[in-house]
Structure 1
Amino acid sequence: MAFVALFGIGSTNFHSAIGTPNGDFVTDISTEPTHPHRLETQLLERLEEMQSIRSLDAVAISAPGLVDAEAGHIRKFDTPEGDLIEHIDLRTPIESRFDLPVYLENDCTASALGEWYFGRREDHDSLIHLTFGTGIGGGVVDRGHPLRGESAQAGEFGLMSVAPESDLSSTGVTGAWEAFCSGRGIPRYVAHRFEADDELGENKSDFTRTVAEEEVTAPAVFEAAQAGDRFAQACLAQISRYNAAGIGALCNAFNPGLVTLGGGVALNNESWVLEGIERHLEEFCFVERPTLTLSPLGEDIGLYGALGTYRDRTGNQSAVEIPKSVSSTLD
């Protein structure tokens, strides 16, 4: 039995655990803030601790940004503060210090692999995983093969344009999906709509006054809508159509049997997100509609993605039973 050091690195949080290829974690999951400017050191320090617990056979890493999987480098890492860190070499220091093979993958592609091996795939041959977090990203796995693209940059689904007539954008893409529907985009869209909405008149609420006076957050928008605020509800209704348009386009392009959703925006607002997409998906989807569900892997999907990456790279393509730690969440 192999023991793999797993790292699910996010822009904000840094998750780690030791796992086995069948999907079991043999240690508790450790979570700490991500330190992008000292990421190599953070990894080495945590690996030192993990090696003291159990002898390791490999290291598997799921990381955000543009990843050179073959070289074991993160080519570009975008921090929450907007800093762009270029060329973080993870493989060389790990191999030099621990003499362990290193398997690195972009977090969205890795998450799709995690879904393939350890999620709710059942008998589906093709799946898409979408992450609604600070931005929107995703991955496609078809018959066990992840789609990486010419330069391993496939899966930037958040940069698909769902509203080309809008002047909102993300990383230079006009009308980008994530400019409206991501954790960072939702507040921007709400503020933009508030400024342009001439029909608010005397119907302004505590929420709209907050929008006018300070920067709101995505959770605040969902909370206001849940409390009955009509402006917040109208914004989320349009966001639902944008989500359905994005997912419909992906379905028409890839014909998945399963689409799973993850990331804080989706996981924390299940009814709003899923019901909104289901309400409008028929307008945009030509192919047979896939099963649409939240990922059963939850916030641990980065670690399962790292483990899926290990399985993909080491040539073990067979499906496995859903681990007990995951199956318990499906009951």
Structure 2
Amino acid sequence: MDQVAVFGIGSTNFRYGVAVPNGDIVTDVTVEPTRPYDLERQLVDAVADLTAAATEPLSGVAISCTGLVDRNRAQIDELDTTDGDTVDRIEAGRAIHEAHGLPVVVENDCNAAVLGEWQYGSRDDVDTLVHVTFGTGIGGGVVDDGRLVRGESAQAGEFGLLPVAPDSEVESTGVTGAWEAFCSGRGIARTVSRRIVAEEPETTLDTEVTAQDVFRAASEGDAFAQSFLDRVARYNAAGIGAICNALNPGLITVGGGVAMNNEHVVLDGIDRHLDDYLFVERPEIRISRLGDDIGLYGALAAFVEQRSEATVWEPTASERADTDD
């Protein structure tokens, strides 16, 4: 059976292992910090490690990565970093092929995640599946009748840029009032820090705060943190409601560190306020059952999809000649 090196690359963590098309991960999963400014070398070295660990020769490499990707060139056009910067044009496919001679698939992490849910998760008997990721940012993807919805320029699923607070001056990537500016891991931390400076509330939190600090303080009775997370819950419900009204999904799965580390707070908050924003029938909304490895399953699903469509990237003869020169 084919063995594929699979990667789930986020702004923070770089996960990898070897998987087979039926969805089994057949090696241990390695997790290390993402090195955004040295990612080509990090990938090449990790493929070497996986080549040694695999029981059969690798059939290819599949990468699920945050940011903007060019699947036709198997490259990452813009990689998001934890501090909000981006690294441009990471030629993952070329670097891996030059080092190991393997075909490469690169897919946006949110598109990959929903493909992974559709192929290997618990989609039950639905025609339209949505996945929403609450992590450093907020993103997602849609599969309708087995096909990934990519959009005109392959940028569909940028749910984090839905404007849930259009009257606010807060923005993300130029979108005023964007959902992720308030409710992502980065957005929660930045918004709370700004409010502490501006309002000087009575709170156990300080300006050097993380999203998890806010959830922890709320669980310990901090009234400021609790009030802020209730606002987050309303924004989350507005975002989910907009997705539902636009797409009418049968199931929404939720992932990402913010949601997975605070499952009941996030899902209960959405449930509490969703009817205020919902027109269509309410779908089931649940945490992804693929857990932290959803990026690996998504990468595998993207590889299987692109191989079936004969779109797995390999350099052309002219590109190989240019490299040799």
TM-score > 0.5 by shorter chain: yes
* Cα offsets for 1:77-133 (capped at 9, x unmatched): 121233321111111122233222111100010001011111110111111111101
The structure 1 segments of at least 4 consecutive aligned residues displaced by more than 3 Å after TM superposition are 191-198
Within 2, Cα distance between the matches of 1:247 and 1:232?
22
Please tell me whether residue 58 in structure 1 is matched to residue 60 in structure 2: yes
TM-score w.r.t. structure 1 length? 0.89
- Which residue in 2 is equivalent to 1:255? 248
Task: Report the counterpart of residue 260 of structure 2 in structure 1.
Answer: 267
Of 300, 304, 313, which residue of structure 2 is paired with 1:307? 300
Deviations along 1:17-53, one digit per CA (max 9) or x if unpaired, are 0000111011000111111111111111111121123
Q: Within 5 Å, give how 1:169-184 maps onto structure 2.
A: 169-184=171-186
- In the TM superposition, what are the counterparts of 1:34-45 in structure 2 within 5 Å? 34-45=34-45
In 2, the alpha carbon distance for the partners of 1:53 and 1:237 equals 47
Please name the residue that 1:282 is paired with. Answer: 275
Cα deviation, 1:172-226, whole Å, max 9, x if unaligned, reads 111110111010111222234445659x6xxx24x2xx33xx3221111111111
2:237 corresponds to = 244
1:68 aligns with 2:70: yes
- CA–CA distance in 1 between the matches of 2:53 and 2:266? 41
Query: What's 2:10 paired with?
Result: 10
Q: Distance in 1 between matches of 2:221 and 2:27?
A: 43
Tell me the distance in 2 between the aligned counterparts of 1:29 and 1:137: 24
Supply the AA of the counterpart residue of 1:166. Answer: S
List runs of 5+ in structure 2 lacking aligned partners. Answer: 310-325
In the superposition, the TM-score normalised over structure 2's length comes to 0.91
Report percent identity of matched pairs: 56
Secondary structure of the residue aligned to 1:130 is: strand
Q: CA deviation at 1:314?
A: 2.3
Inter-partner Cα distance in structure 2 for 1:250 and 1:113: 18
What letter corresponds to residue 92 of structure 2 in structure 1?
Answer: L
Contact 1:67 1:152 in 2 (8 A): no
> Residue 316 of structure 2 aligns with which residue?
none
| 1:289-304 to 2 correspondences below 5 Å | 289-304=282-297
Q: Secondary structure at the match of 1:52?
A: helix
Deviations 1:154-177 (A, max 9, x none): 221111100011111111111110
Give the distance between the partners of 2:45 and 2:195, measured in 1 at CA: 46
SS across alignment from 2:185: coil
Inter-partner Cα distance in structure 2 for 1:265 and 1:95? 35
Q: Distance in 2 between matches of 1:95 and 1:216?
A: 42
Using the TM superposition, give the Cα deviation of residue 149 of structure 1 relative to its aligned residue in structure 2, in angstroms.
1.4
In structure 1, the residue matched to 2:319 is none
Equivalent-residue separation in structure 1 for 2:139 and 2:264 (angstroms): 21
Q: Which residue of 2 aligns with 1:165?
A: 167
Q: For residue 189 of structure 2, what is the aligned residue in structure 1?
A: 187
For residue 8 of structure 1, what is the amino acid of its counterpart? G
CA RMSD of aligned residues (A): 1.5
Gaps of 5+ in 1: 317-331
Q: Which moved more, 1:281-290 or 1:96-105?
A: 96-105
Cross-structure match for 2:49 = 49
Q: Does 1:119 align with 2:121?
A: yes
Q: Which residue of 2 aligns with 1:145?
A: 147
Amino acid at match of 1:221: V
Q: For residues 271-292 of structure 1, give each alpha carbon's deviation from its aligned partner in whole angstroms, at most 9, with x where no partner exists.
A: 1100000011111111111110
2 CA distance for matches of 1:99 and 1:195?
Answer: 53
